[in-house]
Amino acid sequence: MSDTREQILEQIKVQGDLVRQLKAAKESKEKTAPSGGGRVSSSGAPAQRQQQQQPQKQQQAQEQQQHEQLHQIDEEVARLLALKATLGGDAAPTNLKFTLKTPKGTRDYGPQQMTLRQGVLDKIVQVFKRHGGEAIDTPVFELKEVLTGKYGEDSKLIYDLKDQGGEILSMRYDLTVPLARYLAMNKISSIKRYHIAKVYRRDNPAMTKGRYREFYQCDFDIAGTYDPMLPDAECVKIVSEILDTLDIGDYVIKLNHRQLLDGMFQACGVPADSFRTICSAVDKLDKSPWADVRKEMVDEKGLDEAAADRIGEYVRLSGGAELVEQLLADEKLKAVPNAVKGLEGMKQLLKYCSIFGLDKRVSFDLSLARGLDYYTGVIYEGVLKGESATVASPAKTSQQNGEQANEPATVGSVAGGGRYDNLVGMFDPRGKAVPCVGVSIGVERIFSVLEARAAASGLKLRTSDVEVYVASAHKGLHEQRLKVLNLLWDAGVKAEHSYKLNPKLLVQLQHCEEHQIPLVVVLGDAELAQGLVKLREVTTREETNVKLKDLVAEIRRRQQSSA
């Protein structure tokens, strides 16, 4: 620290120029390099596919060069930072060298959004607790190995942390795998837990539709060895209670069963080792027409055309208990034990759903497949219908997701889940399984629906709970204000003031109207001399003198009568 501030500032300038030069050189090289080269995926699979055309040697040399370049940039940036650090808090930059933004696919939540969100989350937690849920929390990152091999193709979307010496870490991709890790690690064989937290997916964000790279998940899961369909039906009930309490419009909960899907694939002549990949294709039916899905099955996944057509017959079916009976009588299906087991499960589930008053809410739907690999039994998805869904995605364009423009807008999956009996066993050294079933509420989409609705209504949510504003009628009263504020705070009253020594009365009253603060205590020398203050109702502008010693009681009285 023997250099003067001016010398350091000069060094920062020189070093900053060097870093910018290096970065510019790297960028210009990348622009001329083949398209795949600039973005090497660490998860391997998709990147390898892209780069098969390139001879491997050349590719490695290129990567090596990039690596060295990045390393050099890192080093010079580190020197720059070290220089800046020596200046500490005084280093106000002359001008900002980068765009001020949040990372791609993320956003800040301001007070308005937080108020809406907190309201939604509170209602969801209320439902979770009504069903005996206990809260847990896990770290935002996990050892990379914990996430490895759990998400199939989507593994490429996992955020990795930089290796800074120590463990190799990745950001959590969902709350289900961390739950499984938690259960196996602590040898917990039964729990009913909820977990509300952010998860991370390096996906292409579609923010207007409520799809982000950082987003909340609200999960409820029942782990333990129980009798068939009893916990499963309760999860469906939970979805309906949540969608009812949030009052976001008409919805349907689609139900299906992985065993039935597998049995159906078998009955249609799909080879056993293609079940999962054909299942992934079926999963796209909510966004793509059958013709496209069939094409994917036949052209990309090599499925026999006749088999695809047989699947096509089944996946257009949906209904209730009568459909189960119809399928139990189906010649092809009844020959396949998996299909029969799945159908018997569905029968039981529909029975319990009926007891829970959900006949009108659930639909047994053979096109429901769900993306994730780890499901082993019941699967379900809560979907907004018609108008509710269109509110959900105002910016939705039908071209984007390959839908026909005149098809009914049944987008908007807002909840989903299912049974996954083998996931916990993947973490147990001896493979000990803990059967689980759970549901994840798609709160971001729900927020989008409600935000759009709030914006349309023009209503402004109150973002603070202030009950009383303490104002001065004239100059010189700031200490008196502090005394009254202290009295109110100590009594638990939510109160604030202007933080100004001598604020104008009008400005103070305007603040209350803008922020919908219901009551104002106005201080003035004349009243204070008599031990009095003015209590003013903001909406009616009515004012009453109140004894200072009765102030808290009077405020509480008014709050109760207006509640």
3-state SS, residue 378? strand
The set of long-range contacts for 299-305, using a CB threshold of 8 Å and a minimum separation of 24, is 301/274, 301/277, 302/274, 303/270, 303/274, 303/278, 304/269
290 binds a copy of itself (CB under 8 A): no
For the segment 347-386, give every residue that binds a copy of itself (CB under 8 A): 351-352, 355-357, 372-376
Q: How many CB atoms lie within 10 A of CB 350?
A: 23
Length of the chain: 563
- Using the contact rule CB under 8 A, the part of the chain among 123-131, 285-293, 304-312, 448-456 near a copy of itself is 123-131
Q: How many CB atoms lie within 10 A of CB 425?
A: 15
Backbone angles phi and psi of 394, in degrees to 5: -60, -30
Taking the least distance from each CB to a copy of itself, the nearer of 357 and 394 is 357
516 binds a copy of itself (CB under 8 A): no
160 binds a copy of itself (CB under 8 A): yes
186 binds a copy of itself (CB under 8 A): yes
65 binds a copy of itself (CB under 8 A): no
Q: How far is the CB of 298 from a copy of itself (least distance, A)?
A: 15
Residue selected from 289, 312, 320, 425 as contacting a copy of itself according to rule CB under 8 A: 425
57 binds a copy of itself (CB under 8 A): no
For the segment 25-54, give every residue that binds a copy of itself (CB under 8 A): 38-45, 47-48
Strands (E), 246-361: 251-257, 318-319
Taking the least distance from each CB to a copy of itself, the nearer of 491 and 553 is 491
Number of residues that bind a copy of itself (CB under 8 A): 155
284 binds a copy of itself (CB under 8 A): no
3-state SS, residue 24? helix
* Per-residue contact string for residues 393-412; x = within reach of a copy of itself by CB under 8 A: --------------------
Cα 342 to Cα 354: distance, rounded to the nearest angstrom = 18
Q: Which amino acid is at 347?
A: K
Residue selected from 32, 56, 57, 162 as contacting a copy of itself according to rule CB under 8 A: 162
Residue selected from 124, 150, 210, 438 as contacting a copy of itself according to rule CB under 8 A: 150
Q: Where do we find the tokens 């998996």?
A: 338
Taking the least distance from each CB to a copy of itself, the nearer of 146 and 409 is 146
User: Would you give the DSSP letter of residue 454?
Assistant: H
Taking the least distance from each CB to a copy of itself, the nearer of 202 and 211 is 202
For the segment 243-282, give every residue that binds a copy of itself (CB under 8 A): 273-274, 276-277
Taking the least distance from each CB to a copy of itself, the nearer of 167 and 322 is 167
Stretch (H or E) spanning 211: none
Give 248: exposed, middle or buried? Use CB within 10 Å, 0-12, 13-18, 19+. Answer: buried
Cα 268 to Cα 163: distance, rounded to the nearest angstrom = 48
Taking the least distance from each CB to a copy of itself, the nearer of 79 and 295 is 79
Question: Does residue 499 come out as left (phi exceeding 0), alpha (psi in the -120 to 50 range) or beta?
Answer: left
- Using the contact rule CB under 8 A, the part of the chain among 162-170, 249-257, 446-454, 530-538 near a copy of itself is 162-170
Taking the least distance from each CB to a copy of itself, the nearer of 190 and 562 is 190
User: Which residues 6+ apart lie within 8 Å of 159 measured at CB?
Assistant: 170, 171, 200, 201, 202
108 binds a copy of itself (CB under 8 A): yes
Residue selected from 17, 24, 58, 93 as contacting a copy of itself according to rule CB under 8 A: 93
DSSP string, 178-209: HHHHHHHHTT---EEEEEEEEEE-----BGGG
3-state SS, residue 81? helix
Q: How far is the CB of 230 from a copy of itself (least distance, A)?
A: 4
Taking the least distance from each CB to a copy of itself, the nearer of 418 and 442 is 418
For the segment 519-558, give every residue that binds a copy of itself (CB under 8 A): none
User: Which residues 6+ apart lie within 8 Å of 372 measured at CB?
Assistant: 151, 152
Taking the least distance from each CB to a copy of itself, the nearer of 57 and 430 is 430
User: Which residues 6+ apart lie within 8 Å of 465 measured at CB?
Assistant: 494
Taking the least distance from each CB to a copy of itself, the nearer of 42 and 398 is 42
Q: How far is the CB of 209 from a copy of itself (least distance, A)?
A: 19
* Per-residue contact string for residues 442-481; x = within reach of a copy of itself by CB under 8 A: ---------------------xxxx-----------xx--
Cα 405 to Cα 397: distance, rounded to the nearest angstrom = 8
| Both tokens assigned to 413 | 């999956």
